[in-house]
Amino acid sequence: MASTATTPPPYGASEQLEPLVRRVLARNPSPFTFTGTQSYIVGGGGEVAVIDPGPDEEDHIAALVKAIGNARVVAILCTHTHHDHSPAAAPLAALTGAKVVGCAPLSLVDDGPRADASFDTGYHPDHVLMDGDSVTGEGFTLTAVATPGHTSNHLCYALEGTGALFSGDHVMGWSTTVVSPPDGDMSDYMASLEKLQTRGDRIYYPAHGPAVTKPSQFVRGIIGHRRQRENQILRLLEPGSSTIAALVPQMYAAVNPALHPAAGRSVLAHLIDLERRGRVRREADAGDLWAVAG
């Protein structure tokens, strides 16, 4: 998706986006995080919640504490447990006395090697929210919207009565999300996009990049983009079997080569999804060698 050029706001400042929503940008810009992780402070009265406290960096945590001021923190919520989202949860909880509530930790023992180096293994929530569970503070209610795909434990949070949805890394204003198997799952991701389409939200506040002001149109665009990628893979496999390493440069010629390994993860996610649907098959035991099925 096209990225939108915006001037990055000053790192560490508390920006008021609407009556119940403030944003504090962490200084962790990268090709994967755009200008950095955006932590959100929700609530306008004596109580607030913090969504995606971000990386465990002293400056950022100090900026959050300053923005929180004298308000009571009713919950620290994470959308998922990638390194740029959840590591500040524990230190912020220690400083504010708040509970860490939200997405599930990944169970490495039970789920096998689902988590890779990008996961925060130090994440230990006090309470896990399921789809539809809510957290309430003075003047606001946040409801979890389960949106697996980018990660299996991804939650968005709806700010009830306002039409605002905190979309984490599921839908971002600057780039399509990376779906990296085995924890990332393209079938789940597409189903989670369809799920958002049924909601009719007014605005999305993602963890990276500008707010999405026409969510329905935007999500329809992402679904279309993924279907195009899928068709492109099927077309490129038409003449014979191929590898992800050979597909990526053809599919992502316009994309910064530094991002090609991540793009390769999303291509793998598409291939696994297509394999489940009987559209492609793996050549024998060759691993990364794929062909059109039948």
| Candidate list 22, 82, 114, 170; residue touching Zn ion; CB under 5 A | 82
For the bound state, the minimum distance from the C-beta of residue 46 to Zn ion, rounded and expressed in Å, comes to 32
Stretch that binds Zn ion, among 5-13, 162-170, 222-230, 250-258 (CB under 5 A): 162-170
Closer to Zn ion at the Cβ: 42 or 115? 115
For the bound state, the minimum distance from the C-beta of residue 78 to Zn ion, rounded and expressed in Å, comes to 10
| Candidate list 169, 188, 201, 273; residue touching Zn ion; CB under 5 A | 169
Stretch that binds Zn ion, among 93-101, 165-173, 235-243, 276-284 (CB under 5 A): 165-173
Closer to Zn ion at the Cβ: 100 or 247? 100
User: How far is 27 from 37, CA to CA, in rounded Å?
Assistant: 8
Burial class (CB in 10 A: 0-12, 13-18, 19+), 18: middle
For the bound state, the minimum distance from the C-beta of residue 248 to Zn ion, rounded and expressed in Å, comes to 20
Closer to Zn ion at the Cβ: 146 or 233? 146
Q: How many CB atoms lie within 10 A of CB 157?
A: 28
Residue 120 binding Zn ion, by CB under 5 A: no
Question: Which residues lie near Zn ion (CB under 5 A)?
Answer: 82, 169
